Structure 1
């Protein structure tokens, strides 16, 4: 009756030094078969990891924005106005766009030249702390004041 080797029942892969030791062990009880299986398993694992890394590189390469059009668009800031809605300030060349972004839709709310952006907001939008919500609040107050004065 043939007893299975206890090492063959281990579900965990052995380190490389253990595989080498098993390969050098005398050919009693099927140890060279175990060493061959370990080498084959580690080789397969290396191939799978290489395929995963290649796939991640390819996905990142294909998802990256390309061309000068993608480089010309810059998000200056955003403010949440609801649980899933945002107002976003985007620079597109010399134009600034105020966009309303909701699930499934993007709406242009306002368009202006970069020079029309108040100096403080221009400085904050280019600095590390972007205070777009403050600028948006000031712009809305100014617009309401202009409507009241006109009407």
Structure 2
């Protein structure tokens, strides 16, 4: 007799709980995901994330927080001498220095007052030449 009462109590309570659950799920239904409001919210969020990424990239280019990175230091040439050894010619301001780079150490081999190799300007490609001509024409037309 007691078992029957507990069984009936469990059945009624689970049926009532199921009704509550169905009501609560229907109460929290979201808006249509393809509505104009949802799409605009998605696009604005995406734009905010992409804008933040571009802002951080721009700031990292402007600010040199990494030690050893400087605009006046430039690798001019490198020559492999073995599996882990290299000779590297570095432009430091007006001087050029020849460094021996091995695993775990860097050694100054020679310092040159006069440049041994002139730093090369970036090679002009067909695209850059065409773009330069277009910009030149555009500037001339705007001046008139």
The normalised TM-score by structure 2 is 0.46
Structure number having the greater helix percentage: 1
Structure with max Cα Rg: 2
Structure with the larger RCO, 1 or 2 (CA within 8 Å, 6+ apart): 1
